[in-house]
Structure 1
Amino acid sequence: MKKRILLVSAIVAATLTLSPVLTVASWFKPFYPHTRENQSLWPAISEHFALQTRENIENSQSLIDWYRKKPYYLKQLGQNAAPYLYYVYQQTLDRQMPAEVALLPMVESNYNPFAYSDRGATGLWQMMPGTGSGFGLDVNWWYDGRRDIVASTKAALDYLQYLYNYLGDWLLAIAAYDSGEGTVKRAIAHNKKLGKPTDFWSLHLPAETKTYIPKLIALSTLIKNQTDYQIAWPTIKNQPYLASVNMDAQIDINQAAELAGVTLEKIRELNPGFRRWATSPASAYIFLLPLNKIETFKNNLAKLPKDKLTTWLHHVVKPGESLSVIAAEHKTTIDIIKRVNGLKNSIIHPGESLLAPLAYKGKLNIKINRQHGKIAEDKMPGPQYVNHVIEHSDTLDQLAKLYGVTVNQIRYWNTLAYHDKLKIGEKLIIWLNHKPKNMDVLNYEVSAGDTLSQIATRFNTTTTLLKLANHLRNNFIRIHQHLNIPDYIRQIHTSNLIDNIKDKNYPIQMITYHVRPGDNLTIIANRLGISIKQLKDWNNLNTLKYLHPGQPLQLAKQ
């Protein structure tokens, strides 16, 4: 049996446990079963590469040549990976995975935990919210588990292990991580039907996936043969860099940096999952620090009173509150609240989140700075979710149609077995697609007298979905404001939509359809339930005029 002392969430690191009153318990130096002293990490990780076959290398040669011409890019990749690679590599060894898997974040995110895609994936492993939920990652106002180094690595490796067990081949598993298990499975079935080989190189897969594997093979080849290829990777020692601290009380990020004697940037780098100025107040969590700073943090933390762990409060604006009321409640000034929250004026709305400083003897413990953009993501791009509260008439089929998802996705996100029944009052997580493929987008212009709830009713959706689709913090809308009503939340036939537009109760509406690739007048008219003549008349089109993707077409006008 391998000797391991206090490995927190499988992290190979020193561990410090804090009691509810923040007294320090024991601190242990851990045992590192895969470490060779005074050795560079690159040759150590190369020893456990398992995908370096001749066929794989030959099929990746063009990417090998491309990377060789980008020495500065490879240097940046190595520098980005330096704080995390040893830990990730250790996790692949513990699971007996090919060490190439530890290089996947180079392909996914350039080993940048703050990276995000326009589809909403984020973190080292670029996990989508739905995938993260299915593997137990939390995403909330305070914290995004997809960016947490420890939690996201566990989830990603769990997913990859599942894909390997399902597909039986590491190249196919890694390809499925990129494009989805269904895509790979369908490609395999297609080749089997034609009597063709079903290895990765023989499958018809998306172009992105066909370059995904060669990128990984190319990087591992240049690491294993860096002398032959004259590649100077940055030095990374084959020894632990990270240390974990078990915490069960909220702490200000700036305060943690001061206690550990490191920069705020270093704390952010090692704890990218925390989205705010402080850690989450609701639950216990793991805090990462450089291993050589644990003693300093431990000693300083023991001296700090519990009431000084945080210097900021999260205040949600209540109906009737003003900045002066909030300032008086927190014994601060209107000017400070405006500066901290980047407010240009004193207008606030119910439900809005504000930072309010805690004052100690009339002084602030840290400088007044607006939250860093990478952490304060009230407007973080990408998918968002709804906590749907089950009502009496709800069924999974109805919810799937309402939110434009599948029943299996809802089951997966909420770990529901097929025999599980919905319970009234129960909350279900529903992830909304940020940019669905081939999405019809309707653009609605707000008219006098409109309310968000009226518009939601008119288009057979909910105010929650409208707010998410338009990044609204509250229900306030203004005349002539344009609202997006995507097809994936619009659950009515367009013919009914046209009838609503013509309703005398709704004068002067503007509804816009954006042309999709492959559209022509006939296709659009059939899709919208209108005639070609109407479409041409509304938009001054003639038969010879070509349409182009993204072109706006007016569905009805006064």
Structure 2
Amino acid sequence: LFVKKQHLVKKQPAIAKQAEFPRTLYRNKIWKVEGERYDIPLRYTSKVKRIVRRLTTKKRKQIITGMRRSGRYVPMITKMLLEEGMPRDLVFMVPAESNFNVSARSHKSAVGLWQFIASTGRIYGLKINRWIDERRDPVLATKAAIKYLKHLYGIFGDWELAMAAYNTGEGRVKRAIKRAKRKGMKHNYSSLRLPRETRGYVPAIMAMAVIYKNPARYGLGHVRPIQAMDETKASLPVSFSLEEVAQRSKMSFRLLRDKNPALFLGVPPMTQKRYSFYVPQRFHTNLMSSLEQNPAPSKKWGLSYNALLGNSAYVTGVLEKFGAPIYFKVRNGDNLWDLAKKHKTSIRRLARWNKLNSKSILRVNRRMKTYVPTWRVFKEVAGTSAPSSPRLIAQRIRVPKGGSLSVIAKRYRTSVKKLIKWNKLSSPNALRAGQRLVIGYRKVSNSKLPSAANIIRVPRNTTLSHLALRYKTTVKKLMSWNGLTNSKQLRAGMRFYVKAPAKGRKKSQKIIVAKTSSNKAPKVRHRIIRVRNGDTLWRIARFYQTTVKELVVLNELKSASRLRLNQKLIVPFRS
């Protein structure tokens, strides 16, 4: 009996019992290490042993947390891997990536169990927008990860290289292989010159596999994984809020949100007609029976969406036309401010919808109405640009070392008082070197502004080829539209045209610094600026609404391409 018990303990893994798997295109070899079988490459090297030692000592709490979480996701992930003929042990990439945390976010803005960056996630079919982030959906993210890993294995034919490419990108691994071939070296994972993080990434996966399959050996046999996913996927029109779904299912709203991390705002994605969500099986029957009895959504939950809409006259009109009206009666002691707060709208909207003015008196039991958003409201607001009205865009600089408000005010022809107001400074001394400072505003008509869809902020860790693929254009066109001469000039955070910008200068643009504009033609003044890192004459000319030729003539430049860091330039300034 004692021998039997020992045998059972030895063969009981943390995740699931390992069987002899059928060979497939993607799983064609088994590695045996210390009596355990693995269907991904596992080399028990000194580096892997060091990582195992560190994880089971210094990072022991992290491993215990991950092992507990693993019970929820591992059965689902391994089932999907086996259905696709993939190595089952690829599941150990997840603790190395996110420690089984669906909401994990890295310093490179990778999110979810499989740590997808936004651009890669979209390529592999994940929706990522202001309403929904499917990188946090464990099932959809796993589907996308399997597609991506299949793609990488198809390129390299080796799981170590495929896992390395998952971490650092296929392009970098391809370049490392080319360098190795050029030098006559081996081009396997251990021989390639890869970034430091990637050199430790694959051994970390191997270390995770060793620990998770042998928990008792490292004093982790007592860790009990949590219950596996038992949710059922349901789909409803977006007019059903998550609050109403929780109420109909007789479960807490917090539990429903925890089961649906992809709906990170706690509201349905209003750019769709329907949306999907997960409901625990024990509550699914309650939801279905409630919908059979009353299939119409409750209007009151729509109130919580008002905060997601702007308070402009345009949005008010859209609400009035396409929103769902709800009615209420004035009670003793009510006033417009209290009613607006209660119904999550504004005093101005309540007054307009109920035909009130400053002389109107709210009488008890008076019937009043407000409007709550529907899917059509969000569609109209998202699809229609706001009416053209002048808009102010801040002009900012970086505060140089030793800079003061008085010096900056003098240089940019404004006042210290205005600089304090524009930047909400507590005092003239509250200034730091390197701080971004608003030194004025330029007025631009909305009708003349480039479409928001044409300009993006460059995300981290992206390339011109990624952007060209994402926006269905070419690298050459992107460089032309943005005045780039070299792909290395692309910087994270820069404003970047992904469609051809409108030709010609915008006559309606002006710069407001100290005085408001007059009816006279704008005077042309000149100011001196310093060339900053990444500046080109083309960018400077565009910002100051002039031409490269004019800048070359003003500054007596011999070449339009040679600029030095901190070089002084004279630029025209129209006021």
- Higher radius of gyration, 1 or 2: 2
AA of the residue aligned to 1:409: H
Contact 1:442 / 1:486 at 8 angstroms: preserved in 2?
A: no
Q: Does the 8 A contact of 1:172 with 1:200 survive in 2?
A: yes
Q: CA deviation at 1:334?
A: 5.1
Contact 2:72 2:229 (8 Å CA) reproduced? no
Residue number in structure 2 paired with 1:88: 77
Name the counterpart of 1:214: 203
Q: Mark the CA change 1:188 to 1:248 in structure 2 (over 3 Å): closer, same or farther.
A: same
SS class of match (1:60): helix
2:103 match: secondary structure: coil
The structural deviation recorded for 1:180 is 0.4
Q: 1:228-284: CA deviations, max 9, x gaps?
A: 122246423786523222434543222222333433333222211113332235244
User: Which of 19, 41, 59 lines up with 2:47 in the alignment?
Assistant: 59
1:470-509 map, 5 Å: 493=538, 496=541
Of 113, 116, 128, 2:105 maps to 116
The alignment status of 1:202 with 2:175, answered yes or no, reads no
Residues 284-324 of structure 1: per-residue CA shift (max 9 Å, x gap): 44321223332233333433442228702545336436999
Alignment partners' CA distance in 2, 1:126 and 1:144 = 12
Deviation per residue, 1:67-86 (Å, 9 max, x gap): 10122111211333343232
* SS at 1:55 equivalent: coil
- Kindly tell me: are residues 400 and 239 of structure 1, through their superposed partners in 2, closer, same or farther at Cα, counting changes over 3 Å? closer
Q: Deviations over 1:374-419 (max 9, x none)?
A: xxxxxxxxxxxx97479xxxxxxxx999x99867435633678x9x
Greater shift in the superposed pair: 55-64 or 190-199: 55-64
| Structure 1 residue aligned with 2:17 | 44
Structure-to-structure mapping, 1:161-180, within 5 angstroms: 161-180=150-169
Structure with higher RCO (Cα < 8 A, 6+ apart): 1
Which residue identity lines up with residue 49 of structure 2 in the other structure? Q
User: 1:413 aligned to 2:470?
Assistant: yes
| Residue equivalent to 1:317 | 310
Q: TM-score, normalised by structure 1?
A: 0.56
**Cα deviation, residue 192, structure 1:** 1.7
What does the per-residue CA deviation read over 1:169-217, in whole Å, with 9 as the maximum and x for residues that have no partner? 1111111111100111111121122222222122111111111112211
Say if 1:149 and 1:270, in contact at 8 Å, map to a contact too: no
Deviations, residues 93-128 of structure 1 (Å, cap 9, x unaligned): 111222232232322223222222343322222212
Determine if contact 1:142/1:279 at 8 Å carries over to the other structure. Answer: yes
**Correspondence for 1:541:** none
- Alignment pair present for 1:293 and 2:283: yes
Distance 1:60 1:265, change over 3 A: farther
Q: Secondary structure at the match of 1:92?
A: helix
Q: Is the 8 A contact 1:60 1:218 kept in 2?
A: yes
Q: How does 1:64-463 map to 2 (within 5 A)?
A: 64-69=52-57, 70-232=59-221, 234-236=223-225, 241-281=230-270, 282-308=272-298, 311-312=301-302, 314-315=305-306, 316-317=309-310, 319-320=312-313, 388=453, 408-410=465-467, 412-413=469-470
- Kept after mapping to 2: 8 A contact 1:243/1:294: yes
Question: Which string of whole-angstrom CA distances, capped at 9 and with x for unpartnered residues, describes residues 19-39 of structure 1?
Answer: xxxxxxxxxxxxxxxxxxxx9
> Residues 491 and 294 from structure 1, CA distance in 2 versus in 1: closer, same or farther, beyond 3 angstroms?
farther
CA contact (8 A) 1:75 1:233 kept: no
| Structure 1 residue identity aligned to 2:286 | T
**Residues of 2 paired with 1:339 and 1:487: CA distance?**
51
Amino acid of the structure 2 residue aligned with 1:195 = G
Amino acid at match of 1:44: K
Task: Return closer, same or farther for 1:45/1:261 CA change in 2, 3 Å cut-off.
Answer: farther
1:209 maps to a residue whose letter is: T
CA apart distance, 1:530: 4.0
Give the deviation of 1:494 after TM superposition.
5.8
CA distance in 2, matches of 1:79, 1:337: 46
Q: Which amino acid aligns with 2:186?
A: P
Q: Equivalents in 2 of 1:40, 1:456: separation in Å?
A: 51
Letter in 2 for 1:412: L
The Cα RMSD (Å) is 5.3
Percentage of matched positions with identical amino acids:
22
Instruction: Indicate the SS of the match to 2:90.
Output: helix
Q: 1:243 to 1:85 in 2, by over 3 A?
A: farther
Q: For the residues of structure 1 that align with 2:313 and 2:285, how far apart are their CA atoms?
A: 48
Q: 1:439 & 1:415 partners in 2: Cα distance?
A: 18
**Does structure 1 retain, via aligned residues, the 8 Å contact 2:463–2:490?**
no
Aligned mates of 1:256, 1:42 — CA distance in 2: 33
Q: Does structure 2 conserve the Cα–Cα contact (< 8 Å) formed by 1:123 and 1:146? A: yes
Q: How many Å apart are 1:53 and its aligned residue?
A: 5.3
Matches of 1:253 and 1:442, distance apart in 2: 34
Q: Distance in 2 between matches of 1:43 and 1:246?
A: 32
- 1:40·1:237 contact (CA, 8 Å) conserved in 2? no
Question: Structure 1 residues 440, 492: CA separation in 2 closer, same or farther (over 3 Å shift)?
Answer: farther
Using the TM superposition, give the Cα deviation of residue 168 of structure 1 relative to its aligned residue in structure 2, in angstroms. Answer: 0.5
Which 5+ residue runs of structure 1 have no aligned equivalent?
Answer: 1-38, 348-360, 365-385, 391-398, 423-429, 431-435, 444-454, 463-474, 507-525, 539-553
2: distance between equivalents of 1:207 and 1:234? 32
Quick one: structure 1 residues 243 and 531, their matched pair in 2 at CA, closer, same or farther if it must change by over 3 Å?
A: closer
Write the distance in 2 (CA, Å) between the matches of 1:62 and 1:156: 28
Find the counterpart in structure 2 of residue 450 from structure 1: none
Shift of 1:90: 1.3
Conserved? CA contact 2:241–2:301, under 8 Å? yes
Contact preservation (8 Å) 1:247, 1:284: yes
Distance in 2 separating the partners of 1:178 and 1:111: 17
Partner secondary structure for residue 208 of structure 1: helix
> Does the 8 A contact of 1:114 with 1:147 survive in 2?
yes
**Residue aligned with 2:276, SS:** strand
- Structure 2 counterparts to residues 514-529 of structure 1, below 5 A: 529=562
Tell me the number of residue pairs that the alignment of Structure 1 and Structure 2 aligns: 391
Question: Matches of 2:76 and 2:15 in 1, distance apart?
Answer: 13
- Equivalent residue of 1:138, what SS? coil
Q: Deviations over 1:34-81 (max 9, x none)?
A: xxxxx9761336977635656245431111111101221112113333
